[in-house]
Structures are given as structure tokens and as C-alpha cells.
Amino acid sequence: MSIVARQRDPNLASIGTCDRRVAGSRGRFRVHSKKRITSFDIAELAGVSQATVSRALRGDPSVSEDTRRRVEAAATTLNYTVDKNASNLRSKLAGTLALLFFDDPTPDDSHINPFFLSMLGSITQACARQGYDLLISFQELGRDWHADFAESKKADGIILLGYGDYLTHASRLEKLRAKGTRLVSWGAVRPDQPCITIGCDNFSGGRAATEHLLDQGCRRIAFLGDASRHFPEFQERYRGHLQALRTRGIVPDDALQVDAESSQSSGRLALKTLMARAEPFDAIFAASDLIAIGAIGALSEHGIDVPFEVAVAGFDDIPMASYVNPPLTTVQQDTRRAGEMLVDSLLRLIHNEPVASRMLPMKLIVRRSSLWQEVPRAESPREA
């Protein structure tokens, strides 16, 4: 920071008094300086005007094939690269998308939720495929995060990523949209979302998980996860869970729902809370894999066997899920597809093409944590 201001404004001698140059009149001042190579240099070398260079390199069809080749050759020779700042300034585009990452609830250490990491990977790759750069920023939900990207022209659009409730910040989002900021979010797809949202079918996913547990013979299935409005995704999963129960004629028991955020420690805590209630349960459906993994840890501390005493299912299918012991039954979100859809939707928004929120299908992945295998489950639910 301290040494920032270094360069001078040389070559004031040009010709006019204005910000204007003629192709040929530039070289003279450049001979000895090793300043940046600009489109004027290319123009001179290729024997055309700067304007033509710009057009040629951008693939403007009005440039003849012959000229284009000459320009490209000159550019290669001088190892020229378009100055993105100037280009963006002029074109009012950035060629960049911003990914805002909300990790509000669990700022424990630097550990990012693995599911989001996976999303990050796929978003990055989707951007690359589309020729866009990706600007990443971790944010806390509290602050004035909006101001710094679209408005400062650093990005053409914004992707919002994070569990949580965008509705709480609806007014802020509205303000952004009013300014013409393009944004898409990942989350629960609901009619009242304040912006284009891509998300998985959390409801069906939750239903599928619970149906599977019911199929395994479980009858008292605990739900670990915040079912409040503030976590719409969890709420949807919970709704799916409830519906599955009701369809099978089981009356949901509020005592079997425990709030939890998406972290192992929270899952561990939730399980202890559940046990403290002394409610019998024979299965756990956790609203995220991290919660499930935390719960499994706590169960094993209590000497309770998974899956023989308590079956467990999670949600997300993070990489870790297949490596815990026992491997975790879970509902898989297709992060690759999700990342692609987020980027595609945002680009469509940017290009003023029609876009709609979309819900992606999910897939139940059955692993050992919910399976009896050979050993039959005890007849009555386990007493806590």
C-alpha cells in the first residue's frame, strides 16, 4: 500500500492537449520506454488503425480476414494482451462473475462447509467454460456486502451461496435489483424468493429419506435441523419428512425435532438434546450430512450402534459421507449440475434472456448407516 503511487504521467508532449492519439504518432515516444504494449503498437506494426486492431481482436465480422490475420500476428509478436480495465471501462462489462459466500452460522475455524466447497468447485469450472472469471468473496450476512461488486463494476453479476434465509434480506436484495444488479441465489426454491433461485428439490429429498427409513422398519424418526423460516432449505426437508410420515399414517411427534445448524458440533449437540428428552427413537434424519456425522459421533459415544440400534440418514452427500463409519445414507445434491445452472442462469440474466428459478432433482444414496443388513432390528424402538 505504501509504495502504491509510483509511476509518473510521461509523454505529455504528444500533440494536442487532449486524450487523443494517432496511430503513427505514438511510436516515437515509446522507443526507449518499456511501457505497456497497447493496441496502438499493434496497429503500427500491422499497419492499421487502433480501431481496427480492437475490432480484429474482438472478432468483429466487419474486419477482413486478411487484416485480422495481420493484426493477430502483430499481437502475437509483441505478446500483446488486452487491458481488461480499459476494456471493461469502455464496454461497461467485466467478464467476471462474483460469488458471495455466506458462512454466517458456523464461523468455526476456517472450515468451510464441504458441500459449499463442492459447489464452489463446480461454479468455478462452469465459469471457466463460459469464459468468465470468478471473483470470490466470503461475507458475513450482516454487512453492506452488496456495494462492492456489481456497483463497482468488478462483476457483471452475483451468485449468492449459503444456507440461510434470503428473505430476511429481501429489502436489500430488492434495492440491488432496482439498481440493475443481476443476481441468482442457491437455496430453497419458493415462490416468495426475492430473486432467481436455483435449488434442489429439498421437499422430495426429505420425503425420500424418511420413506427409506420407514421402509427399514423405523417408526420413531427424529429430525435434526432447524425447521424455522430462517433456514428455508431445512424447512423444506422437514416438510418432506412430515409428509412421508403422514402418508404412512404416522403422527409426527414434535419432541423428535431438534434444531441444529449445519455443523458437526451442532449435530452432536442436537443429539444430546434429543437424548436428554428421554424420547424413544429408532432413526435419525439429519438435515445435513455434517449434522448426521456429528450425531453419529455422539451416538457412538453413548455406545449406541448405528445402524443396528438407530438408523441414520443425512443430506447433501458430501465426500466425507461415504467415508464415515458406517458410510452415511444421504440425499445427494448434484453440485456439478447446480453450479452449471447457477452460472447459466446468471448469464442469461445478464444477457436479458428469460430465466426462471429451477429446482433440481435429488437422489437418495443408500449406504450402511440406515441398513440392517443381515441382522434384524429389535422389535421395539430403543429407549433413550
49 binds, among its own copies, DNA, none (CB under 5 to 8 A by kind): DNA
230 binds, among DNA, its own copies, none (CB under 5 to 8 A by kind): none
Residue 54 makes contact with its own copies by CB under 8 A: no
Residue 40 or 163 with smaller CB distance to DNA? 40
Q: How far is the CB of 148 from DNA (least distance, A)?
A: 13
> Which H or E element spans position 101?
strand 96-102
Among the listed residues 2, 27, 31, 66, the single contact to DNA using CB under 7 A: 66
Rounded Cα distance, 23 and 44, in Å: 6
Local structure of residue 244 (DSSP, 8 states)? H
Among the listed residues 50, 54, 122, 257, the single contact to its own copies using CB under 8 A: 122
Rounded Cα distance, 157 and 284, in Å: 40
Within 10 A of 151 (CB to CB), how many other CB atoms are there?
Answer: 13
Stretch that binds DNA, among 17-25, 183-191, 284-292, 342-350 (CB under 7 A): 17-25
- Residues between 309 and 348 that touch its own copies (CB under 8 A): 319-320, 323-325, 335-336, 339
Residue 118 makes contact with its own copies by CB under 8 A: yes
- Residues between 340 and 379 that touch DNA (CB under 7 A): none
315 binds, among its own copies, DNA, none (CB under 5 to 8 A by kind): none
Residue 33 makes contact with its own copies by CB under 8 A: no
Q: CA dist 102 to 29, 79, 146, 337, Å? A: 50, 40, 12, 21
Rounded Cα distance, 368 and 322, in Å: 9
210 binds, among its own copies, DNA, none (CB under 5 to 8 A by kind): none
Count the residues of the shown chain that bind DNA, applying the rule CB under 7 A. 45
From residue 25 to residue 64, what is the string marking binding to DNA with x (rule CB under 7 A)? Answer: ----------xx-xxx------xxxxxx-xx-xx--xxxx
221 binds, among its own copies, DNA, none (CB under 5 to 8 A by kind): none
Q: Which of 327, 318, 331, 333 is nearest to 371 (CA)?
A: 327
Phi/psi region, residue 280 (left: phi>0; alpha: psi -120 to 50; beta: rest), is: beta
Rounded Cα distance, 81 and 79, in Å: 7
Residue 178 makes contact with DNA by CB under 7 A: no
Residue 24 makes contact with its own copies by CB under 8 A: no
Local structure of residue 25 (DSSP, 8 states)? G
Q: CA dist 153 to 26, 51, 89, 96, 252, Å? A: 30, 24, 8, 9, 50
CA torsion 289-292-296-299 (nearest 10°) is 170
144 binds, among its own copies, DNA, none (CB under 5 to 8 A by kind): none
Paired residues of 161 in beta bridges: 101
> Which H or E element spans position 89?
helix 84-91
177 binds, among its own copies, DNA, none (CB under 5 to 8 A by kind): none
Helix axes 232-247, 202-215, angle to 10 degrees: 40
Positions that interact with its own copies (CB under 8 A): 1-4, 7, 16-20, 79, 81-86, 88-89, 91-94, 96, 101, 109-112, 114, 117-118, 120-122, 124-125, 128, 133-138, 147-148, 151-154, 293, 319-320, 323-325, 335-336, 339, 351-353
User: Which parts of this chain interact with DNA (CB under 7 A)?
Assistant: 4-5, 8-12, 14, 17-23, 35-36, 38-40, 47-52, 54-55, 57-58, 61-64, 66-67, 80, 82-83, 86-87, 89-92
